[in-house]
């Protein structure tokens, strides 16, 4: 993606400079000149460390490539602000955990003269601790043709494992993958501190899985469980199967007691 | 444990020659002369490979050390058969996933002239695939004083990480550790084949945890969930927390829809 206009460095505007926006800046700094917008205070130091210029949403929206890393709750508002400021030919990319709803919003609000690609990096600051090479990213073409070039950049320049898909197929798979992981993690965390002494290997793996998602922002859980149109069905299936297993086990205990 | 009678090899009798009895024979073959009893047919080949003599429960019960690796459903019957045949001074050890009920049965049925130690190796054929060094075993002294010598053997000769505990404390911790792992695995397996493409690191860990326990014998699940006196409480807590989280999420979706 860099130097795609002769010798001129491509500009990247990040809207939403939270944990993921910062991770993106860390890995994209050598390829782009980065500006970022975030309404939260106290981001000056980290922005400086990452060589990122903090500015207005309007200024950020004039970059060649715009990365939307804002929470679902403000997503529609953010896209409508970008829509009035973005340049013809801009490439607009989002990075949220769900894809159907954001893709619909971007397609509806953004002008026809921009390219739109919906993505979901299947990792976060926690799992990218030792680098991002080999990690997975789902890429959904929404508008325009530059998704192929973006995919090549993600694969060649960042070493990511690119999975081309559609918002619908993505949300169906992720309703199980993220929906269940976060649901189970949430329930186990509410059970209080888990034992650490007489643990089995499988329980250790389960604990590791939980600790990877327990520090995710509450908005991530909210988005995964409520903004994915398939999450409710998967959740209901999990709860129903759990309930019927519970009944089976209570009956089996009664049978044993009667014998 | 070996050569504890001068130059004579200590005899070990395994009652129950299933997956765990065979794993025990594999790791204890160089320390003991092993015989085994199992009512199931078709074990001659594996017994021969492991250098184990298959014989009657009465003959096996006359060994210096008796290892009970029988399922919970036949545990009381097995112990009563050992009780009438075992030699004074024998060391009797069980290896099941629960400890309160088996310890009570062994204490009640076995004669006063034997030593009894209840153990739970926190691993199985699946997790011991690359050897058992460093793996955990819970050890509960029940009768006599030879638990200390057994613990030293398990640590020094087999390289196991020995955790001394009581049946009650063991079952409390394991109600969470194994109870929850197996419960979650069972529910997820009933959901059908899990997605493997757009997986996150935390979901991969969860899948690994499940695949470690999914091939366990049905008796293991049964024992963990119904023969552990604390399992029902833990299970109920998990199901209740899951149900209240489910309600919270449905309400949160309704709130979003209303806004």
Residue whose entry in the numeric block shows the structure tokens 């973006």: A150
Tell me if B206 and A181 make a contact (CB, 8 A cut-off): yes
Does the residue A6 lie in any domain? Answer: no
Print the domain residue range for B218. Answer: 170-258
Shared domain check, B66 and B127: yes
Mean pLDDT (chain B, rounded): 91
Higher pLDDT, B125 or B145: B145
Query: How does pLDDT run across B199-218, given as a tens digit for each residue?
Result: 999 999 999 999 888 877 78
State whether residue A162 sits within 8 Å of chain B by CB.
no
- Identify the pLDDT of residue B2: 47
Shared domain check, B188 and B132: no
List the single range of A75-79, B57-61, B186-190 with lowest mean pLDDT: B186-190
How many of the other CB atoms lie within 10 Å of CB of A17? 26
CA distance A149 to chain B (A): 21
Q: Which residues of A touch B245 (CB under 8 A)?
A: 183, 186-187, 190
Give the residue among B90, B165, B156 at the shortest CA–CA distance from B122.
B165
Question: Checking DSSP bridges between strand A136-143 and strand A115-121, what pairing results, if any?
Answer: antiparallel
Does the residue B2 lie in any domain? Answer: no
Label residue A215 left, alpha or beta by phi (over 0 means left) and psi (-120 to 50 means alpha). Answer: alpha
DSSP chain A: -TT-BTTBPPEEEEE--SHHHHHHHHHHTTTSEEEEE-SSSS-HHHHHHTT-EE--HHHHTTSSEEEE---GGGHHHHHHHHHHHPPTT-EEEE--S--HHHHHHHHHHS-TTSEEEEEEES--TTTTTT--TT-EEEEEEEESSTHHHHHHHHHHTT--EEEE--HHHHHHHHHHHHHHHHHHHHHHHHT-SPP-SS--HHHHHHHHHHHHHTTS-HHHHHIIIIISTTHHHHHHHHHHHHHHHHHHHHHHHHHHHH-
Structure letter (DSSP) for residue B161: E
In which band, very low, low, confident or very high, does the pLDDT at A220 lie, cut at 50, 70 and 90?
Answer: confident
- Identify the pLDDT of residue A256: 63
Give the residue among B134, B133, B137, B88 at the shortest CA–CA distance from B117.
B137
Shared domain check, A25 and A99: yes
- Identify the pLDDT of residue A2: 47
In which band, very low, low, confident or very high, does the pLDDT at B256 lie, cut at 50, 70 and 90?
Answer: low
Nearest residue on chain A to B175, judged by CA atoms?
A195
Residue A103 clears pLDDT 60, i.e. is over it: yes
Does the residue B15 lie in any domain? Answer: yes
Residue % of chain B over a pLDDT of 70: 95
Tell me if B210 and A226 make a contact (CB, 8 A cut-off): no
Shared domain check, B52 and B25: yes
Of A135, A200, A213, the CB nearest to B202: A213
Who's near A235: CB < 8 A, 6+ residues apart?
A179, A183, A225, B246, B249
- Identify the pLDDT of residue B3: 44
Shared domain check, B200 and B87: no
Of B173, B176, B209, the CB nearest to A202: B209
- Identify the pLDDT of residue B5: 41
Q: Which residues of B touch A199 (CB under 8 A)?
A: 122, 136, 177
- Identify the pLDDT of residue B6: 43
Query: How does pLDDT run across B4-55, given as a tens digit for each residue?
Result: 444 467 999 999 999 999 999 999 999 999 999 999 999 999 999 999 999 9
- Identify the pLDDT of residue B218: 81
- Identify the pLDDT of residue A239: 86
Tell me if B184 and A184 make a contact (CB, 8 A cut-off): yes
Structure letter (DSSP) for residue B95: -
CA distance A129 to chain B (A): 12
Residue A106 clears pLDDT 70, i.e. is over it: yes
Does the residue B5 lie in any domain? Answer: no
Tell me if B202 and A186 make a contact (CB, 8 A cut-off): no
State whether residue A56 sits within 8 Å of chain B by CB.
no
Does the residue B77 lie in any domain? Answer: yes
Q: Which residues of B touch A180 (CB under 8 A)?
A: 188, 203, 206
Residue A241 clears pLDDT 70, i.e. is over it: yes
Tell me if A177 and B200 make a contact (CB, 8 A cut-off): yes
Shared domain check, B133 and B20: yes
Contact B227, A227 (CB under 8 A): no
Shared domain check, A158 and A58: yes
Cα–chain-centroid distance for residue B41? 22
Query: How does pLDDT run across A161-217, given as a tens digit for each residue?
Result: 999 999 999 999 999 999 999 999 999 999 988 899 999 999 999 999 998 888 777
- Identify the pLDDT of residue A178: 92
d(CA A84, CA B231): 59
Shared domain check, A139 and A20: yes
**Domain holding B37: CATH number?**
3.40.50.720
Nearest residue on chain A to B134, judged by CA atoms?
A201
Of B170, B177, B250, the CB nearest to A199: B177
Cα–chain-centroid distance for residue A84? 25
d(CA A239, CA A34): 44
Look at residues B145, B165, B185 and tell me which one is the last residue of a structural domain.
B165
State whether residue A198 sits within 8 Å of chain B by CB.
yes
Residue window 89-128, chain A: list those with CB within 8 Å of chain B: 120, 122-123, 127
Shared domain check, B226 and B117: no
- Identify the pLDDT of residue A257: 58
State whether residue B83 sits within 8 Å of chain A by CB.
no
Does the residue A2 lie in any domain? Answer: no
Look at residues B142, B165, B188 and tell me which one is the last residue of a structural domain.
B165
Coil vs helix vs strand at B15: strand
Q: Which residues of A touch B222 (CB under 8 A)?
A: 252
Shared domain check, B200 and B156: no
Who's near B46: CB < 8 A, 6+ residues apart?
B17, B22
Does the residue A68 lie in any domain? Answer: yes
Nearest residue on chain B to A256, judged by CA atoms?
B226
Tell me if B239 and A237 make a contact (CB, 8 A cut-off): no
State whether residue A136 sits within 8 Å of chain B by CB.
yes
- Tell which of A126, A203, A230, A241 to mutate to test the B interface (max B CBs under 10 Å): A203
Coil vs helix vs strand at B143: strand
State whether residue A129 sits within 8 Å of chain B by CB.
no
Strand partners, B162: B137
Who's near A184: CB < 8 A, 6+ residues apart?
A209, A210, B184, B206
Query: Count of CB contacts below 8 A, A vs B?
Result: 177
- Tell which of B135, B176, B198 to mutate to test the A interface (max A CBs under 10 Å): B198
Shared domain check, B149 and B72: yes
Tell me if A242 and B242 make a contact (CB, 8 A cut-off): yes
Shared domain check, A52 and A97: yes
State whether residue B213 sits within 8 Å of chain A by CB.
yes
How many structural domains does chain B have? Answer: 2
Does the residue B247 lie in any domain? Answer: yes
> Which tokens belong to A205?
């793996």
Look at residues B104, B132, B165 and tell me which one is the last residue of a structural domain.
B165
């Amino acid at each position: 993606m860099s130097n795609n206009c002769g010798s001129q460095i491509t500009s990247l505007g990040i809207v939403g400079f939270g944990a993921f926006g910062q991770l993106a800046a860390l890995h994209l700094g050598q390829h782009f000149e980065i500006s970022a917008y975030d309404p939260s205070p106290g981001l000056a130091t980290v922005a400086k460390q990452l060589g990122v210029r903090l500015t207005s949403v309007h200024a950020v929206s004039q970059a060649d490539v715009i990365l939307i890393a804002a929470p679902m709750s403000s997503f529609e508002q953010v896209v409508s602000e970008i829509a009035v400021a973005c340049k013809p030919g801009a490439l607009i990319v989002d990075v949220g955990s769900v894809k159907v709803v954001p893709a619909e919003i971007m397609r509806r609000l953004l002008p026809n003269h921009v390219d739109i690609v919906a993505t979901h990096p299947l990792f976060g600051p926690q799992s990218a601790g030792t680098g991002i090479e080999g990690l997975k990213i789902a890429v959904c073409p929404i508008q325009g043709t530059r998704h192929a070039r973006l995919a090549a950049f993600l694969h060649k320049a960042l070493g990511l494992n690119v999975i081309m898909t559609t918002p619908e197929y993505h949300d169906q798979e992720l309703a199980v993958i993220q929906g269940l992981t976060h649901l189970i993690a949430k329930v186990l965390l509410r059970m209080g501190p888990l034992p650490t002494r007489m643990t089995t290997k499988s329980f250790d793996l389960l604990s590791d899985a939980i600790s990877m998602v327990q520090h995710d922002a509450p908005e991530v859980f909210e988005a995964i469980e409520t903004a994915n149109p398939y999450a409710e069905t998967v959740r209901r299936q999990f709860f129903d199967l759990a309930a019927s297993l519970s009944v089976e086990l209570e009956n089996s205990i009664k049978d044993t007691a009667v014998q």
